[in-house]
Amino acid sequence: MPRTLTARHDSFRLNRPFRIARGTKVAADVVTVTISGDGVIGRGEGVPYPRYGETIDGTLAAIESARVLVEQGGSRADLLGALAPGAARNALDCALWDWELRSGITSAAALPPARRVATAMTVVIDTPTVMAREAALLAHHPLIKVKLDADDPATRLRAVRAAAPSPALIVDPNESWDEPLLRAMQPVLVEIGADLLEQPVPAAADAFLEDFAPLVPICADEAVHTLEDLEQVARRYQAINIKLDKTGGLTAALDLMAAARARGMGVMTGCMVSSSLSIAPALHLAGQADFVDLDGPAWLAEDRKGGVSMAGGYLAPAAPGFWGAA
C-alpha cells in the first residue's frame, strides 16, 4: 500500500553538559522519521554519530535515498539491503516497526515485551570531587556507568566508588586508553569492584585483546556494529553493547542479540544521548540484556511527551500509544 515518508532534524537541549573522552555535547541532535499510510503513523528516531562519520545532513540524504522504497511499500528486509547500518536505517526501521505494529500487519508477539528495567545512570568526566558528588546522588541506584579518559582514571574511579559503594559499576573510557594503561588499570578495576569495562582501547587497535586475560569482562562498543563484526569481536571481548543506531535498527539488533547469546557472550543494550523515541524500541531488547544503559533521555531538558520515565535508576516503558502497538 502507498505510504508517505517525512524526515526532519530535531534538537533537544541537555539539562547539563555530557562530557566523554572524545568531547562534550550540550544538545541531542536527532533525525525524526514518520511513515504514514492507511490512516496510521509510525515514528522512528536516529542519532547521527560523528565517531562513525555521520552528520544530520548525511543522515537526511540517506533517508531520502530510500524514499521510493519505503513509500512504495518496501519491507524492513528490503531496507536492510538498501541502506548501510547507521542512524538513517535505524530511524526508518523503527518507524516501519511502529507503523506495522499499529496497523496490525505485525503482531506485538513478534517482539520481546518492553518492561521496567534497571538502567545505568551516567557519571560524566569531571574532576574527582565533582564526579564523587554526582555519584553520591546515585548511591542508592542499582547501576552506574562512569565515563573516563586517560587522565588519572584510577583517582576518578576511587572517588566515585567511595561516594557510591553499593551500585554495580560499568567503566567506560570510550576508546581513550592504550594497552599499557589497560594493563595497569586491571588491579584498580578489581579493587573498586567494577562489573564491566566498556571499549577501553580504540576499536582499530584491539587485536592484542585476543591474547589478553582481563580481570574484569570487557565489552565491545565501537568495535561491534552488526552481525558481520561478531566473529572477530568474540575472540577479543566477553560482551557486546548493542545500540540500534549502530546496527541500523531493531530488526538487525534482534539478530545480533540472538547470535551473541548463541556464542555465550554477555550483552548490554545501549543508546546515544537521545529522546524517548530512540529508547522505546530499544526497551524490547533490554529485558534480555545483562546490562541496560538507556538513560539518554535523562540528559534532556525536555523529552518528547509521553516518553519513558526513570526513577531510582529504573526505566519504565513509555505511555500507551507512544511507540508500537501498546
- Domain boundary at 77, 107, 137, which? 107
| Residue 326 pLDDT exceeds 80 | no
Contact at 8 Å (CB) between 300 and 292? no
61 and 21 in one domain? yes
| Residue listed under C-alpha cell 507512544 | 322
For residue range 267-310, what is the model confidence (pLDDT) as tens digits?
999 999 999 999 999 999 999 999 999 999 999 999 999 999 99
Question: Do the domain assignments include residue 196?
Answer: yes
For residue range 219-271, what is the model confidence (pLDDT) as tens digits?
999 999 999 999 999 999 999 999 999 999 999 999 999 999 999 999 999 99
211 and 85 in one domain? no
Burial class (CB in 10 A: 0-12, 13-18, 19+), 218: buried
Q: What is the count of structural domains for the chain? A: 2
Pairing state between β 40-46 and 23-37: antiparallel
| Residue 1 pLDDT exceeds 90 | no
pTM of the model: 0.96
Enumerate the active-site residues.
Answer: 147, 243
Structure confidence at residue 111 (pLDDT): 95
148 and 67 in one domain? no
Mean pLDDT, the chain, rounded, equals: 97
Which of 117-139 are b and which e, b meaning 16 or more Cβ less than 10 Å from the residue's Cβ?
A: bbbbbbbbbeebeebbebbeebe
Q: How far apart are CA 139 and CA 29, in angstroms?
A: 30
Nearest to 51 by CA among 141, 237, 175: 175
**Overall average pLDDT of the 64-89 stretch:** 97
For residue range 310-319, what is the model confidence (pLDDT) as tens digits?
999 999 999 9
